[in-house]
Amino acid sequence: MTDLLDHLRTAVGAEHVLTDDADVAAYVVDWTGVHSGRALAVVRPGSTAEVADVVAACHAAGAAIVPQGGNTGLVGGGVPDSSGGQVVLSLGRMRTVRDVDPVAGTITVDAGVVLADVQAAAAGAGRLFPMSLGSEGSCTIGGNLATNAGGTAVLRYGMTRELVLGLEVVLPDGRVWDGLRALRKDNTGYSLKDLFIGSEGTLGVITGAVLRLFPATPRHATAWVAVPSVDAAVALLGVAQQHAGAHLATFEIANRQALDLVLTHLPGASDPLAGPSDWYVLVELAGASSEDGLDGALEAILGAAVEADLATDAAIAGSPAQRSALWALREGISEAQKVEGATLKHDVTLPIADLAAWASSIGPVLDEVLPGVRPVTYGHVGDGNLHYNLSSPVGRDDDLRAAERDLSTAIYDSVAAGNGSISAEHGLGRTKAVAGASYKSEVEVDLMRAVKAALDPAGLMNPGVLLPPA
């Protein structure tokens, strides 16, 4: 492997090949702290040509590659295994916005550009790049594409996949596929870009992308609404869609446990409502101008909701600062739960009509497995996606760790029985690769393995992630 390291140093510059423990430390443990490994080296190429050189050298040496962007993934897919033989390929130096075309509605970026910087570049051109995640200050477009990320704007704009026009990818043998097309219509064969989107680094290294932009929506009407149940939240979604139509931009849910953690652990957070509620919904309407009548539509939604017993109270943001404070209650949940202690994440989706029944039936099942376990339930209810994240019974993190297999199995079995999915948006990574395959048919797993074998016959791209070993 000395030859490989020498080659990598020549390819990207010795200062961009990290091997000292202190230098690699931040790259080998994930955001949750649950997954950590060892790396042969962390390599930080600065261009697509350098990525190609690095990948070709690893291919020739038989060294496995773990692509990494902002390392905010939640399923352990961006960190190496414990072998010490894998090369972490960080896209962190590839941060150029290559082009913004407001008329065509496109932005072309390097894969290492941070999501918030893509949003800012779009805003600078008077356009909107709608993808929005709690991690947007550190996650990268490459990681968003590789995980087909979701977030809080899916309801109106769709998953990452729907925001992509073209891709540039370094293939596992080091060849470059230039698919950076900005065409809205292109029916010339298999949609190769769709293979790489959501592939979690297992089919190639994404180095660039052409993304779609939308008209800017600088006007907002935002409310934090107390609702009695998930059932009521789902019914309220229907009311909101009826009154706001295409202006409905956000519809997120959180239970009281989630809000309590935010109020406890996030400095400056305060409850906007006088009394407690079991559930809350963050509703936001967004539009281009004051002509859109957002405030009136929000009031109509809330009035109809109270009338129909779907809401008991609401706080409406009266200023940008109040809007930010309401959003912080939602976006702060992951961080607050991490500060609280051990967390067992589940990112599930079911047909939206079945979500409420599922959420009320699963709690007692889990309490049988681990009495006192605390469901911190929140997420993108408008998309049928709940983050059913468990915190330990107070002060008993070891018990949560000991019971995690049984708890996750109970959740996954019930989701599968309800025709749902065990990962709505975070992907399978290392955490769920085995479970993911076990809930798919033999035919589906065979097809996935065939795709993997066709693109990465040597099996060197992020092995053990997304698909379990054969």
> CA of 252: how far to CAs of 137, 181, 247, 326, in Å?
20, 34, 15, 11
* Residue 56 vs 301, nearer CB to ligand FAD: 56
Tally of CB atoms within 10 A around 177: 15
Q: How far apart are CA 175 and CA 420, in angstroms?
A: 37
Mark 308-347 with x for binding to ligand MLT (rule: CB under 6 A) and - for no binding.
-------------------------xx----------x--
Q: How far apart are CA 122 and CA 101, in angstroms?
A: 9
Q: How far apart are CA 112 and CA 280, in angstroms?
A: 35
- Contact of 315 with 246, CB cutoff 8 Å: no
Is 389 a binding residue for ligand MLT by CB under 6 A? The answer is: yes
* Residue 220 vs 426, nearer CB to ligand MLT: 426
Please, what is the minimum distance in Å from the beta carbon of residue 250 to ligand FAD?
A: 12
Is 74 a binding residue for ligand MLT by CB under 6 A? The answer is: yes
* Residue 35 vs 345, nearer CB to ligand MLT: 345
User: Quick one: tokens of 246?
Assistant: 């295409």
* Residue 135 vs 408, nearer CB to ligand FAD: 135
User: Quick one: tokens of 239?
Assistant: 């009311």
Please, what is the minimum distance in Å from the beta carbon of residue 345 to ligand MLT?
A: 5
Please, what is the minimum distance in Å from the beta carbon of residue 453 to ligand MLT?
A: 31
Please, what is the minimum distance in Å from the beta carbon of residue 332 to ligand FAD?
A: 9
Q: Which residues bind ligand FAD (CB under 6 A)?
A: 31, 66-74, 77-78, 91, 111, 133-135, 139-140, 142-144, 146-147, 149-151, 200-201, 205-206, 334-335, 425-426, 429, 462, 465
* Residue 206 vs 234, nearer CB to ligand FAD: 206
Q: Which amino acid is at 344?
A: L
* Residue 267 vs 275, nearer CB to ligand FAD: 267
Q: Could you say which residues in the range 403-442 bind ligand MLT, by CB under 6 A?
A: none
Please name the residue that has the structure tokens 């370094």: 170
Look at strands 219-227 and 214-215 and give their pairing.
Answer: unpaired
Q: How far apart are CA 67 and CA 232, in angstroms?
A: 42
* Residue 207 vs 389, nearer CB to ligand MLT: 389
- Choose among 177, 1, 207, 196: nearest CA to 93: 207
Q: How far apart are CA 261 and CA 216, in angstroms?
A: 33
Please, what is the minimum distance in Å from the beta carbon of residue 371 to ligand FAD?
A: 29
Mark 96-135 with x for binding to ligand MLT (rule: CB under 6 A) and - for no binding.
--------------------------------------x-
Is 76 a binding residue for ligand MLT by CB under 6 A? The answer is: no
Q: Is 389 helix (H, G, I), strand (E, B) or coil?
A: strand
